[in-house]
Structure 1
């Protein structure tokens, strides 16, 4: 076993243990108190009908979604950072969250309250909006021949995201009170209130796309090399970049559609993984997924206990952690 493999085994074990610990803490937290032994008994099928409803249909759904959303956003950020060759790229900064959010808001705005929304509608419009936004930002950066440059992408992302937020503000003003409450909670980022149907949809998307990304990890590694070298190794740059871009956008947009506009996970998780294990996607992708899942399930748990019995929306907790970390990365890169 090489040194890198040993390091990967150690870090993976540590973050898997942290993920399982905070997952259990998350499921243990709620208005109804269960001892740890009793909670384990409920999870193993020994609870009453009421206890099963509380644990399985509310707590467990929320905890599993937190892990899946964290993993999806983190993997999406890892792909963006590989494609752009810089550590400041991520779904939030490249307009994916904002584009997905605008698509969802337009759908909510146009749909009568009494009609309801099909469960697949939010992910579909979120993906379309995210693809348009991400494509526009990459096009703006490429016009300056700086598609791989940090500041061209960041500035283009900030510019387009500001425009999208202006449109969102306009839509919010026009919303009815019922739709406003729904949209406002979703914009901040909130995992509560979903069902096992959402888990199945998101789980299928995250697992399938994660496997596709890992199966193509060699190509993703090659794309970080100089273009001439990548072409010499037989990689079609445009087709490969477009394919990975679409996969990353679908991952992030689906997570945003279900969990709301949660930022910074896609920036922080892959950055931590690379600092620990290097840039090889063989190790970065699985470690990034573990870190992302752990970060979001921990943030959601913190939001539930920090001002208990009230809750702080998970998007606020993530922003409080992620914003200072982003400034640290930016200052380090400028230095």
Structure 2
């Protein structure tokens, strides 16, 4: 039974995270190449703005903000699941190569397959999922031993190796492509938020609506898997089946996010760690906090990045890495 004071603390932190997201979103709505006065935000939101104000807010700023928040949530959810099922605090979809697998699939699809513009937004998360799933399967296969089961250290090392190999494949794939398409892939690799239209919001939202409740439903299994295989088997958990199902959910969450935001790493590493430090290691408590923190962290990174340099700004993936690399090094030394 979870103590009531811990539950109250978790609810207060969830509300605080929601407040941070709303506050950062409001700040982001007013900042940009075409400024929007803050005293005009409420009238514009309720349909009393000029054509320019409506265009800036509803066609440019708001879909980008929503995509960024949703993608950060998906990456944090993926990292939370991966850290529990692998028992490795350094597991992150960007670090262990899942994002790179999605990236290679997207690059091949974008460069060599005829694409209908109307269905592009809805097809690309599925393409990313196929690439990420194939990569995750290979990483799992190389990290698993019949005698000792899944080796958490080997998983990270194998994932880093796959990430580097897939980066090389990406370079080979785009080396003979058209200039315009190469520019798009280069921006994707840098973690540039490119899917900033409403169709991408509707393409990403169903994945989160399904995966977040599913992860919370499976929180007991995640708690037991985080303790170790012996503990999970001792209480009747079918370890391999549960791990495979949860790995599938983690891959789906990561693939749906990076399909519209590009190769962004470290959100899935940092958000779960911060959440665990705030509310403890129980998945049913820290996953909601981690999901909201992930959305807020990516929103902050994108808001700063797109306003710190003119005219195109700095990709959110680079801004996140400026924070994430030192944090990763700290965890590596501490663990």
| Shared fold, TM over 0.5 | yes
**1:266-305 equivalence runs, <5 A:** 266-305=268-307
Q: State the partner residue of 1:178.
A: 180
Q: State the partner residue of 1:133.
A: 135
CA positional deviation for 1:60: 0.1
Q: State the partner residue of 2:334.
A: 332
Partner deviation per Cα, 1:271-321 (whole Å, 9 max, x = no partner): 111122111011111000110010000000000222244411111101111
CA positional deviation for 1:99: 0.3
* In 2: Cα distance, 1:262 partner to 1:121 partner: 20
Contact 1:61 1:199 in 2 (8 A): yes
**TM-score with structure 2 length normalisation?**
0.94
Call closer, same or farther: CA 1:210–1:173 in 2, change over 3 Å: same
CA positional deviation for 1:144: 8.2
Q: What's the Cα RMSD here?
A: 1.9
**1:204-283 equivalence runs, <5 A:** 204-283=206-285
Q: State the partner residue of 1:25.
A: 27
**1:111-130 equivalence runs, <5 A:** 111=113, 118-130=120-132
CA positional deviation for 1:119: 2.5
Contact 1:91 1:252 in 2 (8 A): yes
Q: State the partner residue of 2:49.
A: 47
* In 1: Cα distance, 2:116 partner to 2:255 partner: 26
Contact 2:139 2:159 in 1 (8 A): yes
Call closer, same or farther: CA 1:117–1:173 in 2, change over 3 Å: farther
Q: State the partner residue of 1:59.
A: 61
Q: State the partner residue of 2:171.
A: 169
Call closer, same or farther: CA 1:263–1:145 in 2, change over 3 Å: farther
Call closer, same or farther: CA 1:4–1:19 in 2, change over 3 Å: same
In the alignment, which of 174, 194, 197 is matched to residue 195 of structure 1?
197
**TM-score with structure 1 length normalisation?**
0.94
In the alignment, which of 306, 309, 317 is matched to residue 319 of structure 2?
317
CA positional deviation for 1:146: 6.0
In the alignment, which of 107, 110, 118 is matched to residue 108 of structure 1?
110
Contact 1:84 1:147 in 2 (8 A): no
What's the secondary structure of 2:47's corresponding residue?
helix
Call closer, same or farther: CA 1:156–1:147 in 2, change over 3 Å: farther
What's the secondary structure of 1:118's corresponding residue?
helix
Q: State the partner residue of 1:16.
A: 18
CA positional deviation for 1:113: 8.2
CA positional deviation for 1:10: 3.0
CA positional deviation for 1:32: 2.2
What's the secondary structure of 2:242's corresponding residue?
helix
Contact 1:111 1:117 in 2 (8 A): no
Provide the aligned length of Structure 1 versus Structure 2: 333
Comparing 27-36 and 225-234, the one that deviates more: 225-234
Q: State the partner residue of 2:95.
A: 93
Residue 37 (structure 1) aligned with residue 49 (structure 2):
no
Partner deviation per Cα, 1:216-255 (whole Å, 9 max, x = no partner): 2122212222323322322211111110000110110011
* In 1: Cα distance, 2:119 partner to 2:179 partner: 17
Contact 1:126 1:257 in 2 (8 A): yes
Partner deviation per Cα, 1:113-168 (whole Å, 9 max, x = no partner): 89886322211111111011111111111148665444211210111111111111
Contact 2:272 2:290 in 1 (8 A): yes
Comparing 49-58 and 180-189, the one that deviates more: 49-58
* In 2: Cα distance, 1:144 partner to 1:29 partner: 54
